[in-house]
């Protein structure tokens, strides 16, 4: 990946299941936390988007490969990169690493929708610009 955004996440009891490892649905939560922090680093705040702009980002598709499990107390490193940026959508490639081990890979497609109609709408120009400025090498 080309200079992705990096975010660290600690594994807690709540994330594990009776198999003794992180419940696989919870990786989607980790990936979303990383995307939220990536947006925040670009000065885009989702709560404000919903209130001020009446838009929100929703996940259109997710494709995850689970290579190796994370365990209680692990400190994970998440890499997040935009691989495609459209007028109303973003495609992400994300990875979770524990030390030198790649645990999980995700391809996530996000759409921008109106909070009122839940229908697709263009990403507002000022938001798009913030994303482009912050992450131009990746796009």
Is 43 an active-site residue?
no
Q: In a 3-state reduction of DSSP, which class is residue 24?
A: coil
Interface with a copy of itself includes 97 (CB under 8 A)? no
Six-digit token string for 116: 């009122």
Q: CA dihedral defined by 11, 16, 19, 23, rounded to 10 degrees? A: -100
- Residue 6 in the binding site for a copy of itself (CB under 8 A): no
- According to the binding rule CB under 8 A, does residue 56 interact with a copy of itself? yes
Q: Which residues contact 87 (CB under 8 A, 6 or more apart)?
A: 122, 123, 128
- Which of residues 115 and 139 has its CB atom nearest to a copy of itself in the complex? 115
User: In the set 4, 6, 91, 115, which binds a copy of itself (CB under 8 A)?
Assistant: 115
Write out the binding residues for a copy of itself, residues 26-45 only, by CB under 8 A: 26, 28-29, 32-33, 36, 40, 45
The reply on whether position 102 binds a copy of itself by CB under 8 A is no
133: which 2 tokens?
A: 């400025």
CA distances from 61 to 69, 104, 109, 112 (A): 22, 16, 5, 13
Contact residues for a copy of itself (CB under 8 A)?
10, 12-14, 16-21, 23-26, 28-29, 32-33, 36, 40, 45-48, 50, 56, 58-66, 69, 71-73, 115, 118
List residues with catalytic annotation.
Answer: 17
């Amino acid at each position: 990946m080309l200079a992705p955004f990096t975010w660290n996440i600690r594994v807690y009891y709540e994330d594990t299941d009776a198999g003794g490892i992180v419940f696989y649905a919870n990786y989607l939560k980790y990936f979303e936390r990383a995307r939220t922090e990536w947006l925040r680093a670009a000065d885009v705040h989702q709560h404000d988007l919903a209130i001020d702009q009446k838009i929100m980002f929703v996940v259109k598709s997710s494709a995850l490969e689970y290579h190796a499990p994370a365990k209680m107390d692990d400190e994970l490193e998440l890499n997040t990169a935009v691989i495609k940026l459209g007028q109303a959508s973003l495609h992400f490639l994300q990875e979770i690493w524990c030390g030198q081990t790649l645990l999980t890979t995700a391809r996530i497609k996000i759409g921008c929708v109106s909070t009122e109609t839940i229908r697709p709408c263009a990403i507002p120009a000022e938001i798009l610009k913030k994303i482009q400025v912050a992450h131009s090498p990746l796009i």
